[in-house]
Amino acid sequence: MTRLNRPQFQQLGIIGCGLIGGSFALALKRAGLVKRVVGYSKSPSTTEVAKKLGVIDVAAESALLAVSGSDLVLVAVPVSATEATLRAIRHLVQIQPQTLFMDVGSTKADVAIAAQKVLGDLASQFVPAHPIAGKEKAGVQNADALLFQGKQVVLTPLPENSAAEVQRAAGVWAALGCKVLKMTPENHDAAYAAVSHFPHLLSFAYFQSVMRQPSGREFMELAGMSFRDFTRIAGSDPAIWRDILLANRDEVLHQSQRFRSVLDRLEHWLKEGDAGALETLLRQVSEARAKWTPAFTDPDDGTPSSHF
């Protein structure tokens, strides 16, 4: 078991040297789990910065070359690029049956479909993962060896994965200080649509509706703590959230339906002046919210995960 919990790798291949990929490389180095890190990014300048910062040891000129000779590979690209990336490395997945592949996407059903479509049986080597960690400032320059410590990582194993392969993947994240959860891609997407993806959509929509109304700018100059906290996630990365919301749109739209029915009810009570019904709901929510505590807290509270 110890061997599983403290896995050793000769070479880590990172495809996508961003905040998450870079932090993963630094974390594995810090934990002494890997001898060498080879990295590839779509933009050569990013790979260069990663090398200068010591995040990676070798800059690869292609995704395929980052995989070559690596016994651990992390695909850390935007979810919309996952399928193309898997296609680009498919050949070496076949040639390196001992290599463990993982991704870090915030949506998982789409990744499962892409993996099975592109890799087929080779998908047994690919264990989809979603580390619930990040920063509002993206980019390898913000990479942090402690980014994953004390955070949750969700594994959504494929039918092709052996129990041993899943355990091996779990061991990697556990060694970085993560709490490892396992669920189906469908349950993952439903859960995070509810507690993360949909509230991001709400916050973006709300901020836009205030910003775009006559006097909206003046109104915002009067806003304080409630507005600050309620709209913090509206400052998240547009490209990342475009991808997440589209990749998980069915679940997000399902959450929106549920939400609208509650909002309809509240508006009805306001129009009717039904103070009793209104207070009852507000009280139920207020009491439940007082009891709730976050699954994890960020070490630096100021910059919570922009992926979550």
Residues 76-115 close enough to bind its own copies by CB under 8 A = none
Candidates 48-56, 68-76, 138-146, 297-305; binding stretch for its own copies (CB under 8 A): 297-305
- Dump the DSSP string for 56-124: -SEE-SSHHHHHTT-SEEEE-S-GGGHHHHHHHHHHHHHH-TT-EEEE--S--HHHHHHHHHHHGGGGG
How are beta strands 129-131 and 126-127 bridged, if at all?
Answer: unpaired
Candidates 40-48, 65-73, 83-91, 257-265; binding stretch for its own copies (CB under 8 A): 257-265
The reply on whether position 202 binds its own copies by CB under 8 A is: yes
DSSP state of 14: E
Shortest reach from residue 8's CB to its own copies, in Å = 31
Site string for its own copies, 221-250 (x = CB under 8 A): xxxxxxxxxxxxxxxxxxx-xx--xx--x-
Give Cα separations from 41 to 5, 38, 66, 116, 249 (angstroms): 29, 11, 10, 24, 27
Structure tokens at 252: 């997000």
Q: Which of residues 150-169 bind its own copies (CB under 8 A)?
A: 152, 154
The reply on whether position 144 binds its own copies by CB under 8 A is: no
Q: Which of residues 260-279 bind its own copies (CB under 8 A)?
A: 261-263, 266-267, 270-271, 273, 275, 278-279
Candidates 25-33, 42-50, 98-106, 185-193; binding stretch for its own copies (CB under 8 A): 185-193
Shortest reach from residue 149's CB to its own copies, in Å = 14
Q: How far is Cα 145 from Cα 9, in angstroms, rounded to an integer?
A: 17
The position carrying tokens 């050793």 is 8
Q: Which is nearer to its own copies, 121 or 218 (CB)?
A: 218
**30 alpha-carbon distance from chain centroid:** 22
- 3-state DSSP helix/strand/coil % of the chain, to nearest 5: 55, 10, 30
Structure tokens at 229: 């906290």
Shortest reach from residue 36's CB to its own copies, in Å = 33
Shortest reach from residue 190's CB to its own copies, in Å = 7
Q: Which is nearer to its own copies, 99 or 107 (CB)?
A: 107
Shortest reach from residue 141's CB to its own copies, in Å = 17
